[in-house]
Structure 1
């Protein structure tokens, strides 16, 4: 994630104006208190879970070395990158859970607020609470080997400064990326300069660069918008707003980098010695990421589980959107880790949350996580084969007590309900088999029919208000969706649906679920946040790393098919920065309202010679063609009007499109 972590690749670089939802203008509406139903539901959590078990608090503070008294980090321009102080104002170890926060999520937020430098075991240290992820420092013979250097360069640099303050100055002698999500590599340039990066080993799983760039490119705008809901960056940080994501507190917002690996790991059992430290790798593809690897440190008897085991149930399908992950494969690789290293491991540590010590506890944690993914998979398939749909299975399935009462497999990030639906989707797709759902009406015309059949807007709102008073918030949110989509100007319906979302957010154990509900409530009351567009701080490294295929696939997605009908355009593009032996010249054609690319054309309308970064900058609106020519970055021949025509066919995606209300074009 973004955020808005893991998602913001190209989207905010467009500098687009915020999309406007249908409906009236809004004044800021304050959040509501918890209802009696919500207070009772949250109070009941204390009886349902083992709050007397405080082992996690002991583990999260074990090995503590030091921390700054305050943790607010700004970039060179003064822009805020990280602010833990806003959370510290109300989340403390002594504070009881407010009635607007699920006590289990509150407990996790208290744990995630235990920040600073910690020793994991001999030669292994972690800085926690400096981003949504941890940064790990392995003490080599001459310097530090860094594992997963956070999202931003500012935070990685701040973490290194903390380590230097307490443990002394040492050079960086290696970097290891466990997988290609930005919270595990984006800060690398904060700890090494170009010269150092060129001479040290930078290790990653095979396929790292491809997936670091490609996972969120062509669907990046939609993912980023949904990430705003998932992580709630526009929510106030207080007991009625954001209290953390469950996986960590939140994500840093500074400069992101991407230094390519120099060593690729592709085989389980492959060994490396870096700066005197032995490590053995276990490949775990298609688990938490398309490529990922665990690392065994035999001399320390320490097992690094990347993001495959943390202190929460993870996502089989993240709410921001992605391809469905393989729950069965995930369980299989956890079992393999136990079989390969379980007899020797004395500590398990990872890229989020805190370690677990002792062989019995370490192996038990891996077994519990193996079994939670296997149980969800097997029982979803069991019920699916009995004819139940994903929605039904999500409502029916419960974890066995051994897993349900285990803190580290609770749904603080992923949840049982949305993971079950994802597993069903992986096998069966979106269609539930009922022909009534094969070719539904779109949301707006369907909503108008629902409202008509149910006696009109006023009648629905009146009955929904009675259901709200009974605490039937799920139903209230569902039924009022039809009123809002039929008539987004119905302020009473919007406010009541917002109230229902808000109470569901207050009751949610999952950080993302809480954020999703509260962000929805905020947008129903106040409208879509109006934030200025800006340049992507992550751009240069990302643009350099994009392959021609990635660039052209992204352009093809931006092509407006309706406007391209009847058009025929041919372009030749030659890149000046391709590696020797790689294809450098390409032909692009627009025909049949489709953009295709391949070998150069014999008679193109225009020819461009430039590097990949320049083309990307032009296509993203970061640079004009005239600016590129003036700077000597582009050689252009042929018909200028053909290229201008081509550019006019490319859509720019508004980063803030409506979600809980219809789009303007649907309101007529």
Structure 2
């Protein structure tokens, strides 16, 4: 790849999808069985939760219409992009949880294995189990109204084909995106042709702010988020009882083609109404809850409430383990409370973008109250303890839900957890510093590890104690101690192997799907080294083309190597003829700024179209080729642009996490 093109290529990964771009491969080093301590811990879960409550299983099967006997979806090249069959080989509805899986997580996996086409209520249908998220089909007078078309084109198309096969073929007349996360819009080109959208045959509707957040979220920190996403979704884990079992919101994420068609219209306020193809919808805006731009939808004709992802059948994340901005649980609880106030008297069924629906007025209202109070309790009690002087770690160790919330299945921590959510709430209010002077300027992990090991009496002494504590099942402490040995001496194979064994047992005990994946992925990398099986998927062409010049310039600014740029000054003008916009880029003081006012004296001025820039970013042409073809005109020093690009860092996706 030419250096200019390589520097100019943007790693603008769409939400958490990069975790799906790596092929699942078998462990080089085989997994180990559950220890006696893990078997005992998982057995205790069976005694502590109401496993005799089978209502979720009844709900997950209710309205079933059809499904293929085996569900494996491939792309145009024959590559598997979705494979429920790999899970079906070991997760069965009547199989007991193996020793290596938390029984509560196993129950959630069994429920998520209920895939196929289902009727929710009159004229509302869902295809579930075709991706991490659900796709919903509302039967209009003449065609389908599609809610949240999954992550990838291939999965969405397969779901539409299933609906048309069993319900009668209908054209898609509208698509609604409930919010700005990619698992709710990425498959849109699998259900509609953009030409029909441009011709006005298909409406694409989204909440206000959708486009900005759908495109920009994860651009700035996309590389780090994507690498951590491999951990959160266990991208390299084999599908078996010692590996990938469940992602909490669904089984995992599809790995097909993620796309985006820009909305043709936006919803701006709560109470706004639309009637599409004979179906009336009333919208509730919920920005800043589960997503920066999100909305619920009330269907008064059917007394059905679409909750988007503001409520699901699990505790959600206040802060995702892959990294993101901390969400506001107080606003989240307030949004659910507003749902109750606006529509609670009439709701007969609730359904959402993940998991299965729930029916019956009293059950649904009780559910919404308990989901509301889940987020409110987490917020209020975390802040109470914070104001009593406890740190995030201390709060996470002592906070407990009351039994009426804790023993309610939809509140269990299959995706978010009470432990890491309470820390996130502390972080939202107080930041990283816990108030202890020792933590104000503490050593980073590697030098601190060397001193820890020295103070502990050396590696052999730590290993001896760690083995004894491992045998006692004290895995949390063993992980803490051995982390220092590995960071002090990453060539200590015995320490890495014992730490891998420790992470593995913690994963086997985890109720949260992402926690299990994080631990087991850590064990995998300690045993097998840094993965090299594939690389992160850069943003899809739709995402790249949807980026504004401002988004590009912001991203170039964080790629700029400040120390390398120190003492250098450079000014570039850029005029986009198709946008009718002009910009000036200014490099000085080790910082890249931009302005909408062109500079009078620039080192170089580029005249081009946004399409020409997109083609460079997407690797369809180099800048030099665009200049030669007359698509980019450069006045002034032609090497000035190359000088700027030479100061940009290219981020390595496979950076170390469990080793220094």
Please give the TM-score of this superposition, normalised by the length of structure 1: 0.94
Q: Report the secondary structure of 2:108's partner residue.
A: helix
Is the counterpart of residue 51 in structure 1 residue 51 in structure 2? yes
Aligned to 1:569: 570
Aligned to 2:543: 542
Q: Give distance in 2, aligned partners of 1:519 and 1:383.
A: 33
Contact kept, 8 Å, 1:12 with 1:655, in 2: the verdict is: no
Is the counterpart of residue 518 in structure 1 residue 520 in structure 2? yes
Which 10-residue stretch deviates more, 161-170 or 564-573?
Answer: 564-573
Alpha-carbon shift at residue 30 of structure 1 (Å): 1.0
Q: Report the secondary structure of 2:127's partner residue.
A: strand
2:582 is aligned, of 581, 585, 605, to 585
Q: Give distance in 1, aligned partners of 2:633 and 2:640.
A: 15
Aligned to 1:450: 452
Contact kept, 8 Å, 2:144 with 2:171, in 1: the verdict is: yes
Aligned to 1:135: 135
Aligned to 2:440: 438
Contact kept, 8 Å, 1:5 with 1:183, in 2: the verdict is: no
Contact kept, 8 Å, 2:565 with 2:590, in 1: the verdict is: yes
Aligned to 1:6: 15
Aligned to 1:313: 315
Aligned to 2:645: 647
Alpha-carbon shift at residue 656 of structure 1 (Å): 1.1
1:358 is aligned, of 360, 377, 394, to 360
Q: Would the alpha carbon gap of residues 523 and 613 (structure 1) be closer, same or farther in structure 2, given more than 3 Å must change? A: farther
Contact kept, 8 Å, 2:20 with 2:253, in 1: the verdict is: no
Unaligned runs of 5+ in 1: 16-26, 663-668
1:235 is aligned, of 237, 248, 252, to 237
Q: Give distance in 1, aligned partners of 2:537 and 2:418.
A: 37
Output one character per residue of 1:384-413: Cα deviation in whole Å (capped at 9) or x when no partner.
Answer: 111111110100011000011100000000
Output one character per residue of 1:263-287: Cα deviation in whole Å (capped at 9) or x when no partner.
Answer: 1111111110011100100011111
Contact kept, 8 Å, 2:14 with 2:217, in 1: the verdict is: no
Q: Give distance in 2, aligned partners of 1:535 and 1:631.
A: 29
Q: Report the secondary structure of 1:553's partner residue.
A: helix
Q: Give distance in 1, aligned partners of 2:15 and 2:629.
A: 33
Aligned to 1:214: 216
Alpha-carbon shift at residue 631 of structure 1 (Å): 4.5
1:254 is aligned, of 249, 253, 256, to 256
Q: Give distance in 1, aligned partners of 2:20 and 2:29.
A: 27
Output one character per residue of 1:29-79: Cα deviation in whole Å (capped at 9) or x when no partner.
Answer: 111110000001111111000000000000000000000111111111112
Contact kept, 8 Å, 2:120 with 2:126, in 1: the verdict is: yes
Q: Would the alpha carbon gap of residues 33 and 529 (structure 1) be closer, same or farther in structure 2, given more than 3 Å must change? A: same
Q: Give distance in 2, aligned partners of 1:170 and 1:181.
A: 27
Contact kept, 8 Å, 2:20 with 2:235, in 1: the verdict is: no
Contact kept, 8 Å, 2:64 with 2:116, in 1: the verdict is: yes
Output one character per residue of 1:413-459: Cα deviation in whole Å (capped at 9) or x when no partner.
Answer: 00000000001111111111111000111111111111111111111
Q: Give distance in 2, aligned partners of 1:353 and 1:109.
A: 11
Q: Give distance in 1, aligned partners of 2:99 and 2:20.
A: 36
Q: Report the secondary structure of 1:447's partner residue.
A: helix
Q: Report the secondary structure of 1:577's partner residue.
A: coil
Is the counterpart of residue 126 in structure 1 residue 126 in structure 2? yes
Q: Give distance in 2, aligned partners of 1:440 and 1:324.
A: 24
Q: Give distance in 2, aligned partners of 1:641 and 1:630.
A: 15
Alpha-carbon shift at residue 590 of structure 1 (Å): 1.0
Alpha-carbon shift at residue 630 of structure 1 (Å): 4.1
Q: Give distance in 2, aligned partners of 1:83 and 1:5.
A: 21
Contact kept, 8 Å, 1:540 with 1:613, in 2: the verdict is: no
Q: Give distance in 1, aligned partners of 2:611 and 2:501.
A: 47
Is the counterpart of residue 634 in structure 1 residue 635 in structure 2? no
Q: Report the secondary structure of 1:501's partner residue.
A: helix
Q: Give distance in 1, aligned partners of 2:503 and 2:84.
A: 27
Q: Give distance in 2, aligned partners of 1:400 and 1:211.
A: 35
Q: Give distance in 2, aligned partners of 1:422 and 1:326.
A: 10
Output one character per residue of 1:622-663: Cα deviation in whole Å (capped at 9) or x when no partner.
Answer: 64212323444322232122221111111111111101111x
Aligned to 2:6: none
Q: Give distance in 2, aligned partners of 1:385 and 1:332.
A: 22
Q: Where in structure 2 are the equivalents of 1:403-482 lying within 5 Å?
A: 403-482=405-484
Q: Give distance in 1, aligned partners of 2:230 and 2:290.
A: 20
Q: Give distance in 1, aligned partners of 2:92 and 2:48.
A: 23
Please give the TM-score of this superposition, normalised by the length of structure 2: 0.95
Alpha-carbon shift at residue 535 of structure 1 (Å): 5.9
Which 10-residue stretch deviates more, 191-200 or 361-370?
Answer: 191-200
Aligned to 2:82: 82
Is the counterpart of residue 597 in structure 1 residue 606 in structure 2? no
Alpha-carbon shift at residue 12 of structure 1 (Å): 11
Q: Would the alpha carbon gap of residues 619 and 125 (structure 1) be closer, same or farther in structure 2, given more than 3 Å must change? A: closer
2:509 is aligned, of 507, 510, 521, to 507
Q: Report the secondary structure of 2:211's partner residue.
A: helix
Is the counterpart of residue 559 in structure 1 residue 560 in structure 2? yes
Alpha-carbon shift at residue 181 of structure 1 (Å): 0.3
Unaligned runs of 5+ in 2: 1-11
Q: Give distance in 1, aligned partners of 2:534 and 2:307.
A: 39
Aligned to 1:660: 658
Contact kept, 8 Å, 1:5 with 1:227, in 2: the verdict is: no
Q: Report the secondary structure of 1:348's partner residue.
A: strand
Is the counterpart of residue 184 in structure 1 residue 184 in structure 2? yes
Aligned to 1:158: 158
Q: Report the secondary structure of 1:607's partner residue.
A: strand
Contact kept, 8 Å, 1:4 with 1:251, in 2: the verdict is: no
Aligned to 1:38: 38
Alpha-carbon shift at residue 533 of structure 1 (Å): 3.8
Q: Give distance in 1, aligned partners of 2:33 and 2:625.
A: 54
Aligned to 1:101: 101
Contact kept, 8 Å, 1:543 with 1:612, in 2: the verdict is: no
Alpha-carbon shift at residue 569 of structure 1 (Å): 1.2
Q: Would the alpha carbon gap of residues 649 and 308 (structure 1) be closer, same or farther in structure 2, given more than 3 Å must change? A: same
Q: Would the alpha carbon gap of residues 216 and 571 (structure 1) be closer, same or farther in structure 2, given more than 3 Å must change? A: same
Output one character per residue of 1:340-389: Cα deviation in whole Å (capped at 9) or x when no partner.
Answer: 10110000000000000000011111011000100111111111111111
Q: Give distance in 2, aligned partners of 1:613 and 1:561.
A: 29
Contact kept, 8 Å, 1:4 with 1:227, in 2: the verdict is: no
Q: Give distance in 2, aligned partners of 1:401 and 1:440.
A: 39
CA RMSD across the alignment: 1.8
Contact kept, 8 Å, 2:14 with 2:218, in 1: the verdict is: no
Contact kept, 8 Å, 1:572 with 1:587, in 2: the verdict is: yes
